[in-house]
Chain A
């Protein structure tokens, strides 16, 4: 008997009927499958379009139902009882019948097989991600870092995708538990792989005030000390990036609020820090104490300091109101500390750090 081409819907149908007859003696099952194979070929021959799963089910019923009818009419015993209680099975069957009665669901079902090859490829990729992460460790994001590693991974992923498609085209014939195992494995690989792919270790560019450096030479920095062109330490300097976002450090000490002479909160004044869990220990006096500057009140004694959970946004320090508040990002600040904002990139209110949001 000529079997339909591997991978067609007819073949898939055949495989599922075969799986449903798995308990029969080989001779018996092969005879029945040969008959069905020829039958499917006849049906295929008289259908001008390619057979879809929906068309086959419409014509022959679901593969499992076909197998059950075959058993009864051929005088064979019913399929061995499964662990599912009869009541549950009846409910499932009833729900399935009701769903099958809805045209929208039928269209959806008919569309699903189209997605299968895509899922197979994706499953292969995820399997490669999971395996690579297990073998190499420290795998983050959709691709590993580094040129040669990426090439190796891509080759690996291609092989895995090929294997996954190979598996997908055959898994219909695996029998009930085989198919379930494949499904469970696919879900596992999918979820774990997705988790790995979604995780990132790069810098977090998310929020304006959450701009801090992770990794690199600044990883263990707890304070930034700004020196002017004359080599003098600039006290109470503020450091911003080119967007006007304050530079926060990942392992800073406790955030110490400072107050401007006009009563507002002075933001991002160094020594400054990010609010950290108490696991980070900062020695007293490890950071230079800011001196009194025009427009900036002296740093309060550390024992009085209460870390605010929410920093209050203040009016943007503009050149007219309080020139002393913002050190310019240009680095031309003078030792006096009363640096004049250049006006091109003024630290605006959006630069207000919110210590509770960081980390």
Chain B
């Protein structure tokens, strides 16, 4: 199954989850997602998602100057972001359970 298709629906959730505990800049977030096992996540998708979440008020951003290399634009989660993460988590949990049941039922039948 193509995971990129599945990812599209839950990338918001994944990005929020990755930033929840620690702020991060774009490439950092990308690496964390890939490190978590989402190997197929696309670079552009992550940057676009960060941008959209920021504009929706779920993320804040601040620039950290860097001595070597580019300045880093860090993203941190806002209260609105935490709220959305909590809601999305609930929805995802219900959805995942439904899918699990469905698949298990098929396997038994």
A32 x B51 contact (CB < 8 A): yes
Known: A39-B27, A73-B48, A73-B52. A66 touches B69 (CB 8 A): no
Nearest-CB distance from A35 to chain B (Å)? Answer: 5
Q: Which of A37, A38, A76 contacts B25 (CB 8 A)?
A: A38
Alpha-carbon gap, A38 to B26, bound state (A): 9
Q: Is A34 an interface residue (CB 8 A)?
A: yes
Alpha-carbon gap, A69 to B43, bound state (A): 9
- Contact code string B46-84 (vs A, CB < 8 Å = 1, else 0): 111111100100000000000001111100000000000
Q: Which of A1, A45, A74 contacts B71 (CB 8 A)?
A: A1
**Which residue of B is nearest A44, CB measured?**
B69
B69 x A39 contact (CB < 8 A): no
B73 x A39 contact (CB < 8 A): no
Q: Is B44 an interface residue (CB 8 A)?
A: yes
Q: For chain A, which range describes its interface: under 10, 10 to 19, 20 to 34, or 35 or more residues?
A: 20 to 34
Q: For chain B, which range describes its interface: under 10, 10 to 19, 20 to 34, or 35 or more residues?
A: 20 to 34
**Which residue of B is nearest A68, CB measured?**
B44
**Which residue of A is nearest B71, CB measured?**
A1
A74 x B70 contact (CB < 8 A): no
On chain B, the residues within 8 Å of A32 by CB distance are: 47-48, 51
Q: Which of B44, B49, B51, B73 contacts A38 (CB 8 A)?
A: B73
Alpha-carbon gap, A36 to B43, bound state (A): 9
Q: Is B11 an interface residue (CB 8 A)?
A: yes
B71 x A39 contact (CB < 8 A): no
Known: A35-B51, A38-B25, A38-B26. A1 touches B11 (CB 8 A): no
- Contact code string B10-38 (vs A, CB < 8 Å = 1, else 0): 01000000000000011100000000000
A74 x B52 contact (CB < 8 A): yes
**Which residue of B is nearest A2, CB measured?**
B70
Nearest-CB distance from B41 to chain A (Å)? Answer: 10
On chain A, the residues within 8 Å of B55 by CB distance are: 75
A74 x B27 contact (CB < 8 A): no
B44 x A70 contact (CB < 8 A): yes
**Which residue of B is nearest A17, CB measured?**
B44
A39 x B26 contact (CB < 8 A): yes
Known: A39-B26, A72-B48, A73-B48. A34 touches B43 (CB 8 A): no
Q: Which of A39, A73, A76 neighbours the largest number of chain B CB atoms within 10 Å of its CB?
A: A73
Alpha-carbon gap, A36 to B69, bound state (A): 13
B52 x A38 contact (CB < 8 A): no
Nearest-CB distance from B42 to chain A (Å)? Answer: 6
Nearest-CB distance from A326 to chain B (Å)? Answer: 83
**Which residue of B is nearest A4, CB measured?**
B70
Interface residues of A (CB under 8 A from B): 1-2, 31-32, 34-39, 41-43, 45, 59-61, 66-67, 69-76
Give me the 10 closest cross-chain CB pairs, A-B, nearest first.
A73-B48, A74-B48, A69-B44, A38-B70, A73-B45, A70-B44, A41-B70, A2-B70, A74-B51, A42-B27
28 contacts between A and B (CB under 8 A): A1-B71, A1-B73, A32-B47, A34-B73, A35-B26, A35-B51, A37-B70, A38-B25, A38-B26, A38-B73, A39-B26, A39-B47, A41-B69, A41-B70, A45-B69, A60-B44, A61-B42, A69-B42, A69-B45, A70-B45, A71-B48, A73-B46, A73-B49, A74-B47, A74-B48, A74-B51, A74-B52, A75-B48
